[in-house]
Amino acid sequence: MKILIAVGSFKGSISSIEVVELVRQTLMEKDYEVETAPISDGGEHFLDVVKSYVDGDEVQCLSYGPSGDMIQARYLFNDKEAYIGLDAIAGMRVAKHLNPLENTTYGVGLAIKDAISRGARKIVLGIGGSATNDGGAGMLQAMGCDFFDKNDLVMTKQMNGHMIGDVYRFDAWLIDQLISGTKIVVASDVRNPLLGENGCAHVYAKQKGASDEDVLTLEKNMTHFAEVVNWHYRKDLSNVPGAGAAGGTGFGALTILKAKLVRGIELIKDLSNLESKIKEADIVLVGEGKLDKQSDFGKAPIAIAKLAKEMGKHTIGIFGISELERHEYLDEIYTIVPDYADEETAIKDAKTYIKKIINDIEILPVIV
């Protein structure tokens, strides 16, 4: 019997690489044949997962974190292709302060610019886990886009969720020259539009540190920013699924960078040869930190489980916590909370409880 381990990260606790390795070791101790496929949907630890499948050199460049601190940004460079993870540059896990009004994607733009200067003709940007809500304006500014205020003065500070509400017009000529001949691909699991009750501010800003009042301010600022961009291009992409990804970075990339937006799991599926691995497996083990109603909208575990069920495979899901008792694509669901620990304890010691779950799954020996 062969088991495929295709588990994503448990957000804020343990990466996909760590989970997959832990489960692999635990199952091999029980003499199972296993295959592994670390998973990212474009968000947390995107770059580390891509490195599992793509040969290349890890490059570093001087950049900025979301809170404005100097950092060494890293990305993967492979034969004129660059893979960049927003979460490692402007994500919540690297932010010194969680404040989406002040945090910026500026450092992401510097990494993209550096990759193009090294000869990259394709940029694959994984967006997710961001600490920002700036519509990608910081990223675009770093790449050469000039934003002007109502007095027609260039806005020189790093753009953020507060400043986009003061944009009167912009000039993207330098960006057009920079990306000429370079394809930009944006990978994300988030299918939210930019604005409204399902948009980036209302759905995600609170987990990035916003108060109720901040959410209203962010929505107002983003609405204004979108109006400026839409007027400039005479078209509205704010309702495109994924425009709201990473605090609106999806929108900025779609409009000004002319990027192609793809589902993160589809990208990883192609890189990892996932379909072939599923076909060869008897059991497919999926999971991540949380299973909820949003998991159906592009989340990696459900996308993989759906594909596995279509191939007639037995599917098992392991999660930190679940809002669902069952799911049509999962034959079994196991959770750390509340079966093994409370949420705080689970986050602090996820490895211990994931291993307990794997050891407690009695169905594995009898499935053939």
pLDDT reading at 367 higher than 70: no
According to the model, what pLDDT value does residue 105 have? 98
Instruction: Encode pLDDT of 348-361 as tens digits.
Output: 999 999 999 999 88
CA 134 from centre of chain: 16
pLDDT tier at 128, thresholds 50, 70, 90: confident
Q: Does position 299 have pLDDT exceeding 90, yes or no?
A: no
First to last CA, the chain: 6
**CA distance linking residue 109 with residue 92, whole number of Å:** 17
Q: Which pLDDT value is given to residue 252?
A: 98
Peptide bond into 338 cis (omega under 30): yes
Single pTM value for the model:
0.92
pLDDT at 325: 81
d(CA 206, CA 158) in angstroms, rounded, equals 22
Helix 212-233 vs helix 245-255: angle between axes, to the nearest 10 degrees?
10
Highest mean pLDDT among 4-13, 31-40, 146-155, 342-351: 146-155
pLDDT higher than 60, residue 364 = no
pLDDT-derived band at 112, boundaries 50, 70, 90: very high
The number of helix segments (H) and strand segments (E) in the chain equals 14, 13
Mean per-residue pLDDT, 289-306: 80
Verify cis geometry, omega within 30 degrees of 0, for the bond prior to 193: no
In this predicted structure, the answer to whether residue 362 has a pLDDT above a threshold of 80 is no
DSSP state of 105: -
Q: Are 222 and 194 in contact (CB under 8 A)?
A: yes
pLDDT the model gives residue 11: 83
Does pLDDT of 363 surpass 80?
no
* 3-class DSSP assignment, residue 85: strand
Query: Average pLDDT over the chain, rounded to whole?
Result: 94
Q: What is the DSSP string of 198-224?
A: TSHHHHHGGGGT--HHHHHHHHHHHHH
Residue 223: the pLDDT is 98
User: What does the pLDDT read at residue 41?
Assistant: 82
User: Bridge-partner residues for 187, per DSSP?
Assistant: 126, 262
pLDDT at 368: 42
Residue 97 pLDDT exceeds 90: yes
Query: What pLDDT is attached to residue 294?
Result: 64
Provide the pLDDT for residue 42. Answer: 83
Token readout for 189 is 């699991």
Residue 293 predicted with pLDDT over 80: no
Sheet of 314-322, strand order: 33-36, 2-7, 283-291, 314-322, 332-337
- Read off the pLDDT of each residue in 235-257 and give the average, rounded to a whole number: 97
Q: Which domains does the chain have, with CATH numbers?
A: 2-38+282-366 (3.40.50.10350), 46-264 (3.90.1510.10)
Cβ neighbors of 257 (< 8 A, separation 6 or more) are: 140, 143, 175, 179, 184
Residue 274: what pLDDT? Answer: 95
Alpha helices in 234-323 (DSSP H): 245-255, 264-272, 274-280, 300-310
Task: Return the CA Rg of the chain.
Answer: 21
Longest distance between any two alpha carbons in the chain, whole Å? 72
pLDDT of 270 over the 50 cut: yes
Q: What are the pLDDT digits (tens) for 181-207?
A: 999 999 998 889 999 999 999 999 999
